[in-house]
Amino acid sequence: MRKHNNKKTVVNCTFSRYLIVMTSKSLNSWHEIQDEVLSRIQAGIWKPGTIIPTENDLAREFECSRATVSRALNALSADGLLDRRRKGGTKVNLNPVRKATLPIPVIREEVEGRGCTYRSLVIEKEKRKPSPAIRAQLSLDADCFVMHVKSLHMADNQPYAFEDRWVNLDVVPDFEQADLTKISANEWLLQNSGFSAGDVAFYALNAGQQEAENLGCREGEALFVLERITQVNGKAITFVRLFYRPGHRISTTL
Amino acid sequence: MRKHNNKKTVVNCTFSRYLIVMTSKSLNSWHEIQDEVLSRIQAGIWKPGTIIPTENDLAREFECSRATVSRALNALSADGLLDRRRKGGTKVNLNPVRKATLPIPVIREEVEGRGCTYRSLVIEKEKRKPSPAIRAQLSLDADCFVMHVKSLHMADNQPYAFEDRWVNLDVVPDFEQADLTKISANEWLLQNSGFSAGDVAFYALNAGQQEAENLGCREGEALFVLERITQVNGKAITFVRLFYRPGHRISTTL
DNA sequence: TAGTGGTCTAGACCACCCG
DNA sequence: GGGTGGTCTAGACCACTAA
């Protein structure tokens, strides 16, 4: 049976010093409970570092099942606001906002999402032995071959990002024949190598001669760089450095 | 009743062209189901863009309740691997890995997490009228006051990051009296202003004179910059720019 | 060891939305 | 309209861990 009515009562509440009369709603959805808990935290009723009531207590207060409370609290825990542990109870986290979720779109989508026309140019595509540095990054043998691809992503015919990529031909031999004028290396790999895990890093770098020439900027300008190693079934498949044009920002809402 | 045994059967499976005999486990935990679904996607059994079986079908196959399947699929959906919609079914996402979750720790914790000793120096602390640029960032009136704080975060007595912060005294008037030699501005605000939302941006910038002096680097070096606006109850409380020392990287696993 | 969250179940109803 | 996922419930047992 779902309950749809609210009621006003004086609640048996261990936090009574903050409350005189408490409007106790029958909260029937875990979203409502999440919001309620969130606002109590933001209002300072439940302070960072303290333990909040148990699932059973909250279920009684909100007149819903424990599972519903659990779902709401787990959602807040996933957001980093609560710290939950068996026996220990549920604690309001100190330092609440600690995670930024950044979208890492395919560059074509990123460009088109800004309302620009996307185009990519292949600057260089060469099959070769990997350099020691690349061997280390991709955990490769000395005698294998990799494909080295340099390309430029354009937005409305302006350089948007310069890409320097190494592809492990042991894992995706077909990449040697890929026609990168029709589809970017990134998207080819996405479509032909299945799902992947990987590591991403961001940092700032002064533009070298190669980056400056391709992006049309001065040498030494600060570039935002994305570096990524992609793996399939634990085998490194590609290592890529993406040098964005000067002024590029990534942003997100916490 | 929990089931603990596995069994081997020929499964009535629409993907039989991939399977001769399928080991159908009784998967009793949503983690196991998540892993199984994930590996089927990675193995190409369920291809990007296609619909996977319904919750009911999977519950029958795995011999568990629909709720358990649902939980597993929802977890994968939250990770961006599946796209679920009522009536439409559950689809394997194209462009699977699109989100990077970056931890944004308090700098003290970031430094201590690297095994270094943290120290912070206040370089400047001044109450003043906000500049037009800052007024715009914080959505302030012209006649209010803000606190401008410049400080340096040190790791093992080496500069780690230079911080340029503006604090809205309308919202947190007590900040004027905060003793920033004992606690950094960031942590003071965290502890005294409750929970907060905000926007974060990252970009690269050539070091100016001020940054170079404080970080002990050359002017023009590429710096990784974090910019953040923090709001409480919809009111902007602080705007901060954090210039990391040259070579700083942030990284994450997808 | 006792108390807390973690999880599973079977059933039910609902909301959305594709055909 | 009907099929799919979204959600809630009441009860049960389990696993971790703080005290």
Give the mean model confidence (pLDDT) for residues B65-88. Answer: 94
Q: Quick: pLDDT tens for B161-219.
A: 999 999 999 889 999 998 988 888 988 887 787 667 788 999 999 999 999 999 999 99
Concatenating the DSSP letter of every residue in B121-157 gives: EEEEEEEEPPPHHHHHHHT--TT--EEEEEEEEEETT
Asked if pLDDT for residue A253 goes beyond 90, the answer is no
The whole-number pLDDT of residue A9 equals 33
- Among B201, B193, B176, CA closest to B237: B193
Q: What are the two backbone dihedrals, phi and then psi, of residue A244, each rounded to the nearest 5 degrees?
A: -80, 155
Type and span of the H or E element at B193? none
- Distance (Å, rounded) from C-alpha A39 to C-alpha A27? 14
Interface of A with B in 33-52 (CB under 8 A): 41-44, 48
Residue whose tokens read 């089927």:
B40
Where does residue A233 rank: exposed (0-12), middle (13-18), buried (19+ CB within 10 A)? middle
pLDDT of residue A156: 95
Q: State the best of B70, B206, B231 to mutate against chain A, taking most chain A CBs within 10 Å.
A: B206
Which one is predicted more confidently, B46 or A28? B46
Q: What band does A196 get if pLDDT is binned at 50, 70 and 90? A: confident
Instruction: Decide if B254 and A81 are in contact by the 8 Å CB cutoff.
Output: no
Question: What percentage of chain B exceeds 90 in pLDDT?
Answer: 55
pLDDT band (50, 70, 90) for residue A97: low
**Predicted local confidence at residue B20, as pLDDT:** 28
A191: pLDDT confidence band, cut at 50, 70 and 90? confident
Q: Which nucleotide is nearest to A77 (CA to C1')?
A: C5
Distance CA A67, CA A82 (A): 17
CA of B2 to C1' of D11 (A): 14
Residue of A nearest to B187 (CA): A95
Q: Is the pLDDT of residue B144 over 90?
A: no
Of A103, A223, A254, the CB nearest to B98: A103
| DSSP structure string for B65-130 | -HHHHHHHHHHHHHTTSEEEETTTEEEEPSS---EEEEE---HHHHHHHTT--EEEEEEEEEEEPP
**B2, closest nucleotide (Cα–C1'):** C8
C-alpha closest to that of B154 among B205, B114, B209, B202 = B114
Digit-coded pLDDT (tens) for A125-154: 999 999 898 898 888 887 889 999 999 999
Distance in angstroms: CA B67, C1' D19: 35
Smallest CA–CA distance from A219 into chain B, residue: B220
Asked if B99 lies within 8 A of A102 by C-beta distance, the reply is yes
pLDDT at A189: 87
**B133 close to A (CB below 8 A):** no
Per-residue pLDDT at A3? 37
What is the structure's pLDDT at B192?
Answer: 80
Q: What was the pLDDT predicted at A176?
A: 92
Q: Which of A78, A4, A3 is nearest to A34 (CA)?
A: A78
DSSP string, A212-251: HHHHT--TT-EEEEEEEEEEETTEEEEEEEEEEPTT-EEE
Give CA separation, B87 vs A115, B51, B52, B93, B198, in Å: 32, 12, 13, 17, 35
pLDDT at B138: 87
Q: What is the mean pLDDT of residues B147-173?
A: 95
The span from the CA of B83 to the CA of B74, in Å, is 9
B chain contacts of residue A220, beta-carbon cutoff 8 Å: 206, 220
Give the pLDDT score at A223. Answer: 98
The rounded percent of chain A whose pLDDT value lies above 90 is 55
Could you say which DSSP state residue B251 is in? E
State whether the beta carbon of B155 lies below 7 angstroms from any atom of strand C.
no
Beta strands in A129-221 (DSSP E): 146-155, 158-168, 197-206
- pLDDT of residue A55 exceeding 60: yes
List all nucleotides in chain C with at least one atom under 7 A from a protein Cβ: 2-12, 14-18
Query: Rounded to 5 degrees, what angle do the CA atoms B6, B7, B9 make?
Result: 150
pLDDT at position B137, please?
86
Where do the domains of chain B lie, and which CATH numbers do they carry? 16-92 (1.10.10.10), 107-244 (3.40.1410.10)
The residue among B74, B69, B89, B15 whose CA lies nearest residue B47 is B15
Q: What confidence score (pLDDT) does residue A67 get?
A: 96
Distance between CA atoms of B7 and B10, rounded to whole angstroms? 10
Given a cut of 70, whether residue A212 has pLDDT beyond it is yes
B65 touches chain A (CB under 8 A): no
User: Binning pLDDT at 50, 70 and 90, where does residue B140 land?
Assistant: confident
Mean model confidence pLDDT for chain A: 85
Q: Protein A59 CA to nucleic acid C14 C1', in Å?
A: 22
Is 60 exceeded by the pLDDT of residue A80? Answer: yes
